[in-house]
A and B are shown apart, each in its own frame.
Chain A
């Protein structure tokens, strides 16, 4: 079966800056792929290549088997505008109509606005919408043409919790009906909630491309917090130690069970033991900068 998005060996520079360095990525029909990476990692550049706004310096980009620079290839593509960029003097339904009429069989405007809870705002000028409402409209615009694939660049940035959950539902519904989604996010939480597959990009390269579970399992750092008058940083298995206020210590380890056994067995006096897994942000930091949590600290500990 033809891949929906196929990027092979793509390199893209902006002057001196290497935005994408020999990137390959294939997204099949019905996949929901989350792309993660810090600012400037190359995510937006990659999306702009897939949406035909730019062309690669070398390598090829295919969208549904065609060249995305050819408008005909984009008939089945949905994208979001940046929410700050909606034409301020047009009304909500006018913006939707305008975008809809680029497609051969768009969703009826009323239906789409209903779906995104924007029906009551249909006659408002977009300049008067709140940030969250603009964000919802932006995502709605990506779906108006009944696309087979949507590119969502930071779809819920700046939304409150309920607004985010509502958008996630809309994205899940679209995916459940067979749609293909390629989304970028700063929020691991968002990628964890939506994506089945995770691609981590940094410095223009694909660092990781795997299922969500595999990516999360890969980073099995535990954070152990404990109070003790003794310095526990030297215990076996402690990758890195930090001191907090008073005698509170934070220990990072790959195996918290072994560390706790070690701590108890050593007979050292301690109190207030807490253990938790690394947060998603910490896992992400570990992926993007290997050794940020564990490896680098081994050097310090030595």
Chain B
């Protein structure tokens, strides 16, 4: 028996364990990064539970425009969730016995609010204004996806800053004509690039001096 506690093979083992540790740490970081982008954390494509299983698909298929309920989207930073009265415009007569609509009727009778689960929620350190976007050529579907095909609503985009910047760096990629803003099926890319560049001009979107990518445009 040698007096040495560690034999030469332990050298290899030590090196290997060091390597494994580094690889493990890198793997862990990589995993955290993936987790951070995953739909598990970002809630993308996850159907959210709601007090009433409201289907955008059903209602838009009837020909109801986004703005029938989201009335403030053209004038306000916030695209409102409608008051119970808007539901009751139709549902005072239609499906008025339906169990699914029970919470709506209860809210109507008691005057208490329905507590919907928010689907798209930007961090509080981001300023976002709906009206400036829909009045300057950005359609609902660009950010919200095909809500008109969602039964239970989900979040379409992970809402990364990188994603916002894609458009703020080059609005001509996403801009659409004024009469197509609420057209969910319209694809801006179906227009030639020159036409979209002309639209950017027409809307007066100022892309000079990196104005749209200035930090304080969104972080104010």
* A joins B in a complex: no
Residues of B within 8 A of A (CB): none
